Amino acid sequence: MKILIFTEGTALKPGSVESHKTHTFRSYIPNGNVVWKLQSWKEQGAEIYYLTSRETSEEIDDIRFVLEKHHFPQMQNLLYRKDGQEYKDVVESVVPDIFIEDDCASIGGEAEMTYPHIKPEIQPKIHSIVVKEFANIDYLPDDVNELQMRSN
């Protein structure tokens, strides 16, 4: 089972108001108990993938640094957009069983989310879970099978 989680706003949050304003991604921190939750799902056999909104190599390295610093499981599975790709293109290339993203409330809501833009023929293959932006995923089921059956 593949689980893909968005980094900024979902798995990670700014470490301070200043880091949010200045986009200092290296100072982002885990959102709630996300590391524990993802590790638990990994131990149950899930493959964990991450999708960052960052595009420059420096910013991607900053996100990679944060994932490594805080011991996110399988942080080597960090995905990002390349050569004009949109988020939906990255998700469609992976076709995760579960895709967790936030509601993009601060940047325009559903219009900015990824799942609604995925091809209609691929959407049924992906279980979408939408969480509140900068909240956390602590309330999601610890059991991956329950997670896959969870509705929004």
pLDDT digits (tens, 9 = 90+) for 16-43: 656 555 567 888 999 999 999 999 999 9
Q: Where are the domains of the chain?
A: 2-149
Confidence of residue 110 (pLDDT cuts 50, 70, 90): confident
For 2-149, the fitting CATH number among 3.40.50.170, 3.30.420.10, 3.10.310.10, 3.40.50.1000 is 3.40.50.1000
Categorize the per-residue pLDDT at 69 as very low, low, confident or very high, splitting at 50, 70 and 90: very high
- Maximum pairwise Cα distance, the chain: 42
Alpha helix (H) residue ranges in the chain: 17-22, 34-43, 57-69, 87-94, 144-149
Average pLDDT over residues 116-124: 96
Mean pLDDT over the full length of the chain: 91
pLDDT at res. 36: 98
